């Protein structure tokens, strides 16, 4: 059955067939993210041979590794960006993409996220923010909304969520955008832009986890979560004019930054050139 | 881009930059030059005493050779970046000390499971914890062996001098490449900071190995297979259009995850062990001095092997039949040779700068009728010839 459904899917050529069907729950936003990524790659006509996809550990980490048919590196929890850094230095002409969860990239891996943005290394990060630890059974995450219920905040979450996009923008990324899984076309366009930007780019996708998040917060159905996203999304431009109290519990969507800054691997190679020149080491 | 280190352009650069001859340098610098001669062109690290001069030397020298120095945000990131770079074809190294080594353990296990060649230099310092941060020690013998989780093999080498550090670092790279595995270099803070005469050879005197690449599409499709029966799969590098999937989860020969089938896990983990066991000739190495007719055998490693040799020479002058056995590859332990030597001697003294670690390995290979005793010292000051000699006399 699953095979039949997949065979009708026009972008099946981008997927590793022997790894299908995916392990994601029905209605998980991860499917939307994989679809959007495949669409962006297809839209830009990127040869998958020119892609390396890296992920950490978690449900979202599985979205593209192993399912996307490219060189894929499924790493340890939190460290995907650091692994990707080594890959990018070795393969500066390839597109290096990290797709992983909010827990993976912004909690345990928060340090690597900030420093990759600071270096402005040319890696595209698609961060799937489902506001929870899905894979480990629905524990509280640094992105869980204030007041929400999870298995480790059974009464209510008393911690404030991290605003990932704003933080990464402040750290120095070249491109940062946030959408939800209810904004598929905008999401595809942003992933395309991110893939073309020379520098560190982050696309944060607020995504539904009906199984671990929705169920405990009166949104069992995936559609209920999507409606929640739509109803509470505020474009960045409008959000700028709003007071912090008004933005409480809202999803600010759109582009946060899009700018040019010297890129890390380019600078590394420039430095090597200068050093070799300086010491008279250039080949004849 | 793949730099192997033995391309004509690299050989030209090395010849131009490093004239063969004797230099006065630190053990740490010797490690760095060893790595450069072995073909290392990617270094990712995070500073920590007493290893920092390795990073400093690499930061200064690598760009001259077209190589990359990355100072990462921490040790976890450093070893992660190395694994990523190794899959693009680089020979990679990092250097650290106890606390950093602890942080690297999870990804060291990842490198074992994904069969990623890399060299990790642990310049051992005094611990536990921050201990005497600037002082040398030999307390990470078992951290190297059992620091990460699960059933896994590990290869660790340990140099006994600055000169030795140059060659042992090269050997570590060659083992890593031949067996597609991480290799630990257990160095120490004493030798790391000791300046002595070190001979830099001509690059042509250095034998360097490079990982096996897939011979055809079929081999490339099985990045974790065993087509040659030596347990070592050819490594399909990223960026060549093979669509390789690499995961630290239990995987089949094609790289795809299967964590539910007991046989798949059993087959993978046993092969990774077998790869190390059946290739002993690639890494086994030890040194012996007067061991053949010894009645008292001193076993020592790393920095302590030097005063141990001094003590054995002095004991011989006094007419005591002492000998010395120095494992240079400390993991897997040269147990067979230890067993043979253990049969011939009356007493075995294990000298090390810790409260007794290698002695537990030695114990597994000597009979109960042999007097086995540790010669141990902690506090950051190495054992002296006199201290070890006193113990030899004590059992003579
Ligand atoms: C070092 C380490 N700590 C903890 C875990 C357990 N763990 C696996 S996935 C995960 C959370 C993943 O959350 P997230 O990245 O948000 O992904 P999701 O499953 O929600 O998509 C955790 C804590 C681990 N694998 N490694
Ligand atoms: S647990 Fe949540 S995040 Fe994980 S696959 Fe299921 S719905 Fe998706």
Examine the domain organization and report whether B150 and B36 are in the same domain: yes
Distance A59 CA to ligand 1 centre (A): 8
Write out the residue range of the structural domain in which residue B115 sits: 8-205
Structure confidence at residue A284 (pLDDT): 66
Q: Residue B210: its pLDDT value, please?
A: 96
CA–CA separation, B223 and B240 (whole Å): 13
Quote the CA–CA distance of B35 and B291 in Å, as a whole number. Answer: 32
Inter-chain residue contact B88 with A90, CB threshold 8 Å = yes
Q: Of A70, A83, A271, which is closest to B84 when you measure between CB atoms?
A: A83
Co-location of B390 and B275 in the same domain:
no
List chain B residues with CB under 8 Å of A105: none
- The answer to the question of residue B1 being in a domain is no
Do B300 and B254 lie in a common domain?
A: no
Residue B150 is assigned to a structural domain of this protein: yes
- Single residue among B205, B225, B245 that ends a domain in this structure: B205
Question: CATH number for the domain including B147?
Answer: 3.40.50.970
Nearest CB among A19, A94, A112 relative to B239 is that of A94
Residue B273 and residue B189 share a domain? no
Mean pLDDT along residues B136-158: 98
Cα B214 from Cα B308, distance rounded (Å): 46
* pLDDT band at residue A5 under the 50/70/90 scheme: low
Query: How many structural domains is chain B composed of?
Result: 3
Strand partners, A252: A234
If asked whether residues B87 and B57 sit together in one domain, one would say yes
- With 90 as the cut, is the pLDDT of residue B2 above it? no
Domain ranges of chain A: 27-279
Task: Evaluate: CB of A60 within 6 angstroms of ligand 1.
Answer: yes
Look at residue A8 in the predicted model and tell me its pLDDT: 81
- Higher local confidence (pLDDT), B3 or B55: B55
3-state secondary structure chain A: CHHHHHHCCHHHHHECHHHCCCCCCCCCHHHHHHHHHHHHHHHCCCCHHHEEEEECCCCHHHCCCCCECCEEEECCCCCHHHHHHHHHHHCCCCEEEEEEEHHHHHHHCHHHHHHHHHHCCCEEEEEEECCCECCCCCECCCCCCCCCCECCECCCCCCCCCCHHHHHHHHCCCEEEEEECCCHHHHHHHHHHHHHCCCCEEEEEECCCCCCCHHHHCCCCHHHHHHHHHHHEEEHHHHCCCCHHHHCCCEEEEEEEECCCCCHHHHHHHHHHHHHHHCCCCCC
CA–CA gap between residue A141 and residue A130 (Å, rounded): 9
Q: What is the mean pLDDT of chain A?
A: 96
A–B interface: beta-carbon pairs under 8 A:
150
Given a contact cutoff of 8 angstroms between Cβ atoms, the answer to whether B357 and B141 are in contact is yes
pLDDT at B200: 98
Of B281, B302, B331, the one marking the end of a domain is B281
Residues B78 and B197 in one domain: yes
- Of B257, B281, B305, the last residue of a domain is B281
Predicted pLDDT of residue A2: 59
- pLDDT score of B170 more than 60: yes
Residues B295 and B389 in one domain: yes
Q: How far apart are CA B254 and CA B252, in angstroms?
A: 5
Residues B220-232, mean pLDDT to the nearest whole number: 97
The reply to whether B240 and B321 lie within a common domain is: no
Residue B360's CATH number: 3.40.50.920
* Mean pLDDT across B273-288: 98
pLDDT tens readout for residues A233-284 = 999 999 999 999 999 999 999 999 999 999 999 999 999 999 999 999 987 6
Query: Are residues B229 and B94 part of one domain?
Result: no
Asked if residue B210 belongs to a domain, the reply is no
Q: What is the mean pLDDT of residues A162-166?
A: 98
**Is B272 a member of any domain?**
yes
Say whether both B263 and B151 belong to one domain: no
**CATH 3.40.630.90, domain A27-279, yes or no:** no
With bands split at pLDDT 50, 70 and 90, how would you rate the model's confidence at A17? Answer: very high
- B340 shares a domain with B269: no
Judge whether B212 lies within some domain. Answer: no
Across the interface, do B246 and A74 touch by the CB < 8 Å criterion?
A: yes
pLDDT band at A7 (very low <50, low <70, confident <90, very high): confident
Q: How far is B109 from chain A (nearest CA, A)?
A: 10
- B111 located within any domain: yes
Contacts with B13 from chain A: Cβ below 8 Å:
281
The answer to whether residue B28 is domain-embedded is yes
Say if residue B197 is in the same domain as residue B232. Answer: no
C-alpha to C-alpha distances, B124 to A275, B51, B186, B379, nearest whole angstrom:
33, 9, 7, 13
Q: What's the mean pLDDT in A44-52?
A: 98
Cα distances (angstroms) measured from residue B158 to each of A257, B123, B213, B274: 50, 10, 28, 22
Q: pLDDT tens digits for B299-337?
A: 999 999 999 999 999 999 999 999 999 999 999 999 999
Q: What tokens were used for B107?
A: 């990804």
What is the tens place of the pLDDT at every residue in A180-233?
A: 999 999 999 999 999 999 999 999 999 999 999 999 999 999 999 999 999 999
As a whole number, mean pLDDT of residues B175-200 equals 98
Average confidence (pLDDT) over B247-266 = 98
Q: Evaluate whether residue B53 is within a structural domain.
A: yes
């Amino acid at each position: 059955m699953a095979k039949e459904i997949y065979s009708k899917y026009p972008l099946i050529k981008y997927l590793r067939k022997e790894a299908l069907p995916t392990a994601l729950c029905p209605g998980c936003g991860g499917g939307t993210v994989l679809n959007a990524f495949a669409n962006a790659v297809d839209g830009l006509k990127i040869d998958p041979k020119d892609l390396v996809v890296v992920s950490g550990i978690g449900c979202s980490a599985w979205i593209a590794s192993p399912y996307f048919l490219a060189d894929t590196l499924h790493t340890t929890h939190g460290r995907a960006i650091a692994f990707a850094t080594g890959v990018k230095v070795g393969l500066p002409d390839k597109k290096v993409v990290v797709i992983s969860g909010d827990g993976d990239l912004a909690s345990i891996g928060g340090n690597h996220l900030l420093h990759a943005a600071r270096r402005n290394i040319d890696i595209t990060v698609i961060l799937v923010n489902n506001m929870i630890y899905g894979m480990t059974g629905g524990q509280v995450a640094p992105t869980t909304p204030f007041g929400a219920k999870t298995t480790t905040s059974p009464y209510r979450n008393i911690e404030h969520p991290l605003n990932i996009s704003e933080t990464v923008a402040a750290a120095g990324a070249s491109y940062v955008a946030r959408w939800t899984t209810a904004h598929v076309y905008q999401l595809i366009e942003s992933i395309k832009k991110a893939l073309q930007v020379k520098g560190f780019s982050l696309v944060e996708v607020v995504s539904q986890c009906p199984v671990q998040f929705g169920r405990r917060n009166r949104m069992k159905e995936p559609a209920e979560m999507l409606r929640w996203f739509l109803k509470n999304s505020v474009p960045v431009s409008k959000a700028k004019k709003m007071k912090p109290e008004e933005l409480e519990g809202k999803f600010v969507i759109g582009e946060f930054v899009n700018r040019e800054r010297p890129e890390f691997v380019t600078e590394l190679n420039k430095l090597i050139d200068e050093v070799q020149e300086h010491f008279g080491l250039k080949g004849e | 881009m793949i730099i192997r280190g033995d391309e004509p352009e690299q050989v030209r650069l090395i010849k131009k930059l490093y004239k063969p001859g004797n230099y006065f340098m630190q053990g740490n610098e010797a490690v760095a030059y060893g790595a450069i001669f072995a073909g290392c062109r990617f270094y990712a690290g995070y500073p920590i005493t007493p290893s920092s001069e390795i990073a400093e030397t690499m930061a200064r020298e690598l760009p001259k050779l077209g190589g990359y120095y990355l100072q990462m945000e921490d040790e976890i990131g450093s070893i992660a970046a190395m694994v990523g770079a190794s899959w693009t074809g680089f020979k990679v190294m990092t250097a650290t000390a106890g606390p950093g080594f602890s942080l690297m353990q999870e990804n060291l296990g990842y490198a074992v499971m994904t069969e990623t060649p890399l060299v990790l230099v642990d310049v051992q310092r005094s611990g536990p914890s921050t201990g005497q941060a600037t002082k040398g020690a030999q307390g990470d013998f078992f951290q190297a062996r059992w620091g990460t989780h699960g059933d896994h093999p590990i290869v660790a080498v340990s140099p006994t001098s600055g000169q030795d550090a140059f060659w042992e670092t090269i050997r570590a790279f060659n083992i890593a490449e031949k067996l597609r595995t991480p290799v630990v270099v257990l160095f120490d803070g004493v030798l790391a900071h000791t300046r002595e005469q070190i001979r830099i050879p001509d690059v042509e005197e250095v034998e360097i190995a490079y990982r096996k690449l897939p011979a055809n599409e079929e081999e490339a499709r099985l990045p974790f297979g065993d087509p040659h029966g030596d347990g070592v799969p050819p490594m399909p590098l990223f960026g060549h259009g093979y669509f390789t999937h690499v995961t630290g989860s239990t995987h089949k020969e094609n790289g795809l995850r299967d964590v539910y089938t007991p046989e798949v896990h059993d087959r993978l983990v046993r092969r990774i062990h077998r790869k190390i066991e059946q290739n002993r000739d690639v890494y086994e190495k030890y040194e012996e001095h007067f061991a053949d007719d010894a009645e008292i055998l001193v076993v020592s490693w790393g920095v302590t092997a030097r005063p141990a040799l001094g003590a054995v020479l002095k004991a011989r002058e006094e007419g005591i039949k002492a000998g010395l056995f120095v494992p240079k590859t400390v993991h897997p332990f040269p147990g067979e040779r230890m067993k043979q030597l253990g049969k011939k001697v009356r007493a075995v003294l294990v000298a090390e700068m810790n409260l007794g670690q290698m002695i537990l390995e030695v114990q597994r290979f000597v009979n109960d009728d042999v007097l086995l005793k540790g010669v141990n010292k902690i506090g950051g000051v190495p054992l002296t010839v006199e201290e070890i000699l006193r113990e030899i006399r004590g059992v003579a």
